[in-house]
Copies of this chain bind each other. A is one copy, B any other.
Amino acid sequence: MAPDGPDPRRRGSLTERYPGLDVLVDEPPNAQTAARSNLATPITPRDEHFVRVHHRTPEIDADEWTVSLAGLVEDEAELSMEELRCAFPTESVVHTMECSGNGRTYFEPDAEGDQWSFGAVGNAVWTGTPMSAVLDEYGGATDDGLWLSAMGGEAPPDKDVFCRSIPLAKVREDCLLAYEMNGAPMAPEHGYPVRLVVPGWFGNNSVKWVEEIRVMDGMVEGEAWTDRDGQDYTQYQQSSYRIVPDQDEQPDRHRSVDTVSTYDQMTEDEGVRNAYLFDQLVKSLLTTPEDGATLSGPRIELSGVAWSGEDAVERVEVSTDGGESWDEATFVGPDLGRYALDRFRYVWEPEPGEHTLCSRATDERGRTQPATVSDPEDELRGIENDEFPWNVKGYGNNAYRPLGVTVEVEA
Chain A interfacial positions (CB closer than 8 Å to B): 1-3, 37, 40-43, 45, 82, 85-87, 89-94, 125, 127, 182-184, 287-289, 295-301, 330, 332-334, 336-337, 343, 345, 347
Contacts and interface: CB of A to CB of B under 8 A. Distances in A.
A3 to B, nearest CB: 5
5 contacts: A3-B289, A85-B301, A86-B300, A92-B334, A93-B333
Given A125-B42, A334-B93, A336-B334, A299 B343 contact: no
Contacts of A299: 1, 82, 86-87
Contacts of A89: 330
Contact of A301 (B40, B86, B288, B289): B86
Contacts of A295: 1
Contact of A184 (B3, B40, B289, B301): B40
Given A1-B300, A40-B183, A40-B184, 18 more contacts: A1-B295, A1-B299, A2-B301, A3-B37, A37-B183, A37-B184, A41-B183, A41-B184, A42-B94, A43-B43, A82-B297, A85-B301, A86-B300, A86-B301, A90-B330, A91-B332, A93-B334, A334-B337
A404 B343 CA distance: 38
A345 B90 contact: yes
Contacts of A93: 333-334
Contact of A296 (B1, B42, B94, B287): B1
A411 to B, nearest CB: 13
A89 B345 CA distance: 10
A333 B183 CA distance: 11
Contacts of A289: 3
Contacts of A334: 92-94, 125, 336-337
Nearest to A343: B183
Contacts of A287: 183
A42 B43 contact: yes
A350 B297 CA distance: 63
Contacts of A288: 3
Nearest to A182: B41
Nearest to A298: B82
Contacts of A42: 43, 92, 94, 125, 182-183
A309 to B, nearest CB: 18
A90 B183 contact: no
A94 B183 CA distance: 16
A62 to B, nearest CB: 12
A301 B3 contact: yes
B300 A127 contact: no
B184 A332 contact: no
A3 B91 CA distance: 37
